[in-house]
């Protein structure tokens, strides 16, 4: 289990958060599989994002994950269908310790590492321009031969 301060809660709130998570695990465990875990501990947002990742992967459409919640969803999607991990890009590495654990578990290297803890999809918004530029370079950039560039100067 990994949790953190999120957007900056104090020590008392962090302790309450850890206790709530431990109690939820104690009450609802053991878990048969990822779907069982999701149904007992996950919120609607995690279930929804997990579904988006699985659906996108089934259509060979890449997904950009941003922070802790979408990362947790990616782990669950990867447990349900391991091949779904092949379609996931990590937009950035958050300063949240749990986010590093998530990316390591998924075997993903983030596109950006800017010490962000903003939320709201800011990492994904920034990374998309890099992903789009990379796609254009791979698909539209001409070779020297196609561009009729001479090897002689």
Distance, in Å, from the CA atom of 106 to the CA atom of 109, rounded to the nearest integer, reads: 9
**Does residue 33 have a pLDDT over 70?**
yes
Please give the model's pTM, rounded to 2 decimal places. Answer: 0.86
Running DSSP on this structure, what letter comes out for residue 32? S
Please, which pLDDT band fits residue 120 given cuts at 50, 70 and 90? confident
Q: What are the domain boundaries of the chain?
A: 33-140
The pLDDT assigned to 153 comes to 64
| 3-state class percentages of the chain: helix first, strand second, coil last, to nearest 5 | 60, 10, 35
Per-residue pLDDT, 17: 92
What is the rounded average pLDDT for all residues in the chain? Answer: 92
Decide if 96 is catalytic.
no
So what CATH class is 33-140?
alpha beta
What is the tens place of the pLDDT at every residue in 60-115? 999 999 988 999 999 999 999 999 999 999 999 988 888 999 999 999 999 999 98
- Contact assessment for residue 44 and residue 24, using Cβ atoms and an 8 Å cutoff: no
Q: Are 80 and 58 in contact (CB under 8 A)?
A: no
Compute the residue count for the chain: 153
| Confidence (pLDDT) at 132 | 96
Q: Which of 45, 81, 96, 120 is catalytic?
A: 120
């Amino acid at each position: 289990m990994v949790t953190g301060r999120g957007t900056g809660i104090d020590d008392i709130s962090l302790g309450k958060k850890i206790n709530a998570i431990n109690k939820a695990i104690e009450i609802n465990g053991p878990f048969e599989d990822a779907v069982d875990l999701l149904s007992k501990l996950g919120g609607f947002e995690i279930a929804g994002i997990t579904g988006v990742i699985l659906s996108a992967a089934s259509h060979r459409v890449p997904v950009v994950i941003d922070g802790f919640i979408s990362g947790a969803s990616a782990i669950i999607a990867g447990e349900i269908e391991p091949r779904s991990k092949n379609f996931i890009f990590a937009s950035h590495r958050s300063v949240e310790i749990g986010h590093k654990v998530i990316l390591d578990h998924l075997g993903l290297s983030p596109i950006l590492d800017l010490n962000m803890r903003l939320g709201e999809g800011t990492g994904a918004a920034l990374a998309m321009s890099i992903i789009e530029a990379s796609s254009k370079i791979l698909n539209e950039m001409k070779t020297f031969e196609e561009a009729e560039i001479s090897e002689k100067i």
